Amino acid sequence: MNTGSKNTIAVVLAAGKGTRMKSSTPKVLHEIFNIPLLGWVLKSLGDIESVIVTGSGRELVEAYLEDKNVKTAYQAEQLGTGHALSCAVSQIPDDFSGNILVLCGDTPLITNETLTSFIKYHNREESPLSVMTSILDNPYGYGRIVRDGFGCISKIVEQKDCTQEQAEINEINTGVYLLNYKLIVPLLSEIKNNNNQGEYYLTDIISLAVKHGLKPSAYCIKNFEEVFGVNSKQDLAAAFKIMNARHIDYLMTKGVTVCDPNNTYISPETEIEADTIVLPSCYIENKNYIASGCKIGPMAHLRGNCTIGEGCKIGNFVELKNATVKPHTNIAHLTYVGDAEIGSNVNIGAGTIFANYNSVTKEKKKSYLADGVSIGSNSVLVAPVELGENAFVAAGTVVTKSAEENSLVITRAPQKEIKNWIRSKK
């Protein structure tokens, strides 16, 4: 994000317990594609300086944020969104004169593009206060945007406080705001908790701004999915599906063939080039790069930190992690490759295992396969090993030592044949 971001500080509200999640894990730490909900929100913010308001599960949330280059503010009691923003003010420099972007830590589908557009709109309108809104056919459960006779936003009314007439309004509050710090933050002290929840609603800042002669503005987004909040395990599953479908659709617009989008799962952190085919039931998580002309699956599992070169085949029931595979290599089926660098034009037979982990020492070791290596079926490579160019590993071999180029590697007990054994047993 660049437009207006240097003059903006984000406050992410992440203090809620998430009672409906039925979990000891704080709500914002529940994961989609191995990244917490809060992590996806931080990704959407790009380089904007951020303050995270923590509360329930504070220690766990702050432990996650340790390497994220953000500030934190503690909301000891969850007394509402207005109170949460007040808690964050202590982490904002006294001489700050820009805008505060407020959003929730449980909205993993918000995009950098949408937030950038929101900031542009706010700056263009020179608005003291902007709220992001959306239109819903069924707005139940959301705060309603109430406008005056001139069409200007006058207040936000929460669902439980709505009159019958207000409940019929279908423009809703998404919970995303931009506030002029110097003009609006002083009004936080005027927010009261005389509502059905007994909370200090940040939504009341709208009517307070109007009372002080300030004119709030509303930025209406078309895609409500972006501000979909996760409050239950059902919501978590729904957000996962939306994120997955959105990324798969993006990949297909780039020329990637995804044969069955409803039964394929690809993390948004994974980049795939055109003319690669992803067959059904693949699960590709975390960050990976797959070049053009590859065939992946069916039922392949890429666990992250994998780079797959042009024209490779990663077959059914193949699992890869921390692996670099150079062009035109086949890893056809029933194989595990972990912590490996594999050259080009390599063939890895069915049932091959890269034994990369020592459960006693808790160490992981790496294997190196040069160009043209061939691994026979049902072999085990016990890392660390290095196989030279065009080395050939016979089927059923356990490789424990490195081998030179053009060599045959075989560890196989002599085959015995006991004639008439069956007859003797009968």
Q: Are 276 and 254 in contact (CB under 8 A)?
A: no
Element holding 289 (H helix, E strand): strand 288-290
pLDDT in tens, 148-177: 988 999 999 989 889 999 999 999 999 999
Instruction: Please determine whether the domains at 5-227 and 255-409 fall in the same fold group of CATH.
Output: no
* Cα 209 to Cα 187: distance, rounded to the nearest angstrom: 8
pLDDT of the residue at 130? 97
Sign of CA dihedral 130, 135, 139, 141: negative
pLDDT of the residue at 5? 63
Q: What is the CATH number of domain 255-409?
A: 2.160.10.10
Domain 5-227 falls in which CATH fold? Spore Coat Polysaccharide Biosynthesis Protein SpsA; Chain A (3.90.550)
pLDDT in tens, 283-303: 999 999 999 999 999 999 999
The residues spanned by each domain of the chain are 5-227, 255-409
In one-letter notation, the amino acid at residue 316 is N
How many other CB atoms are there within 10 angstroms of residue 307's CB atom? 17
Burial (Cβ within 10 Å: 0-12, 13-18, ≥19) of residue 423:
exposed
Token pair of 342 as six digits? 């594999």
Strands 217-221 and 129-135: parallel
Taking residues 388-413, report their average pLDDT: 97
The closest of 12, 15, 105, 106 to 55, measured between CA atoms, is 15
- The structure's pTM equals 0.92
If phi > 0 it is left, if psi is from -120 to 50 it is alpha, else beta; for residue 304 that is left
In one-letter notation, the amino acid at residue 190 is E
Name, in order, each residue with C-beta under 8 angstroms of 51's C-beta and a sequence gap of 6 or more. 9, 10, 11, 12, 70, 71, 72, 73, 88, 91, 92
DSSP symbol at 302: E
Burial (Cβ within 10 Å: 0-12, 13-18, ≥19) of residue 401:
exposed
132 φ, ψ to 5°? -85, 130
Name, in order, each residue with C-beta under 8 angstroms of 335's C-beta and a sequence gap of 6 or more. 315, 317, 318, 319, 348, 349, 350, 351, 352, 353
DSSP structure string for 109-129: T--HHHHHHHHHHHHHHT-SE
Average pLDDT, the chain: 95
Q: Are 140 and 159 in contact (CB under 8 A)?
A: yes
* Cα 186 to Cα 173: distance, rounded to the nearest angstrom: 22
Prior bond of 414 cis (ω within 30°)? no
Q: Which residues are identified as catalytic?
A: 333
Q: Are 388 and 407 in contact (CB under 8 A)?
A: yes
- Per-residue pLDDT band at 3 (split at 50, 70, 90): very low
pLDDT in tens, 103-161: 999 999 999 999 999 999 999 999 999 999 999 999 998 999 999 988 999 999 989 88
Q: Three-class SS of residue 102?
A: strand
In one-letter notation, the amino acid at residue 245 is A
pLDDT of the residue at 7? 92
